Amino acid sequence: MTIKDLSALTGYSVGTVSRVLNDQPNVSEKARKTIREAAEACGFQLNTNAQQLKQQRSNNILVLVKGSSNQFFGALVEAIQARVSEKTSYHLVVDYLDEDSNEVLRALQLVREKKPLGILFLGGNEENFRTHFARIDTPCVLVTSDASDLTFPNLSSVCCDEFQATKSAIDRLIAMGHRQIGIIGGFRERSDTATRRFQGCMAAFEEHKIPFAPDQDYANARFSHEGGYLAAEMLIARSDRYTAIFCMADVMAMGAIRCLTDHGLKVPQDVSVIGFDGLSVGEYIVPRLTTVSQSVELLAQRSIDLLRQLFEDGATAAHEFIPAEIQWRESARSI
């Protein structure tokens, strides 16, 4: 079933049929009605391939997720999905890569293959953008990292103020009496987010003159439960003096809590644990997770709005912050 068939069926030419199906002007009401009904009757669908071939562009927004094991991105994709299908008629194409592959190179390939209207990068490495992004002229938004240092006209960004959010959390921990604080975070050489959050930690420690030795007190982890567990194990092996552990992701925090519990340590009585992200599961675990929370809905909303401004209005690149807020729950306490 093609518009040709529809044309034969209704007696109108393919031109008129096409115009009706695309809600274009210069069609009589009569023709519009006849054709609409015929199309309805046989459940007609335009052939996307022919359409996109002709128009030289797709209807797709590409989402590039870096590090699929990170549950936060999972929740984010879902929120983006929801907003796109509710508010627009664009189609989402989601592509996953592991944490250490080059997202910009991958984007380059997918741009040629799929000709998306725009790209949402969920996570990304500044270095990769610096070296390869110049070759991409599709509108893009970097989500969860700040790209204002990168002055590409087609690259917007939205994230929370990672530095400040993290610093506030550590400040607060210090204000509550903690002096021996361990950090579980991502590999800083691979993750800009981990680097920013690390800097936030360091700023807090320096401001309050709390000793902190990265070699000793910082443990690398992948963004997963297991990663958090393993990192906590390392921290515990190195020292039993920690009264608090700050984790750069809620999933890490859950792993860490499990590990502490296995070592007979109670959370928060013996050790306080703070996570980052604000995953809804945090409200259901025992103890409820204290976390630096960022709204996935807001992040989703802002990122696709920013992207649409770029490709619909030809707007210039913009860089936004969304608020992050500490959800004080049960896994951390004053000492």
Partner DNA sequence: TTGTAGGCGTTATCAT
Partner DNA sequence: ATGATAACGCCTACAA
| Token pair belonging to 38 | 């015929």
285, interface contact from DNA, a second copy, none, CB < 5-8 Å by kind? a second copy
| Token pair belonging to 271 | 């050790």
13, interface contact from a second copy, DNA, none, CB < 5-8 Å by kind? DNA
Least distance in angstroms from the C-beta of 255 to a second copy? 6
Smaller CB distance to a second copy: residue 126 or 233? Answer: 233
Least distance in angstroms from the C-beta of 257 to a second copy? 7
Chosen residue from 8, 41, 42, 53 binding DNA by CB under 7 A: 53
H or E element at residue 48: helix 48-55
Q: How far apart are CA 276 and CA 279, in angstroms?
A: 8
How many Cα atoms occupy the beta-carbon half-sphere of 111 within 13 Å? 18
Smaller CB distance to a second copy: residue 213 or 284? Answer: 284
Count of C-beta atoms within a 10 Å radius of residue 65: 21
Whose tokens are 């890490």? That residue is 252
Parallel, antiparallel or unpaired: strands 140-143 and 155-160: parallel
Count of C-beta atoms within a 10 Å radius of residue 174: 18
* 190 near a second copy (CB under 8 A): no
Yes or no: say if 260 and 231 are a contact pair by the CB < 8 Å rule.
no
Please count the residues of this chain forming the interface with a second copy, following the rule CB under 8 A: 38
* 89 near DNA (CB under 7 A): no
**Nearest-CA neighbor of 246 among 205, 192, 294?**
205
Contacting range for DNA; rule: CB under 7 A; set: 9-17, 120-128, 274-282, 295-303: 9-17
| Token pair belonging to 12 | 């109108």
Yes or no: say if 172 and 236 are a contact pair by the CB < 8 Å rule.
no
Within 213-252, the residues that bind a second copy by CB under 8 A are 225-226, 229
11, interface contact from a second copy, DNA, none, CB < 5-8 Å by kind? DNA
Q: How far apart are CA 320 and CA 298, in angstroms?
A: 11
Count of C-beta atoms within a 10 Å radius of residue 78: 12
Chosen residue from 30, 241, 284, 314 binding a second copy by CB under 8 A: 284
* 333 near a second copy (CB under 8 A): no
* 58 near DNA (CB under 7 A): no
Least distance in angstroms from the C-beta of 52 to DNA? 9
Chosen residue from 8, 41, 42, 50 binding DNA by CB under 7 A: 50
Q: Which residues bind a second copy (CB under 8 A)?
A: 43-50, 52-53, 58, 68, 74, 78, 81, 93-94, 96, 108-109, 112-114, 225-226, 229, 254-255, 257-258, 261, 280-281, 283-286, 288
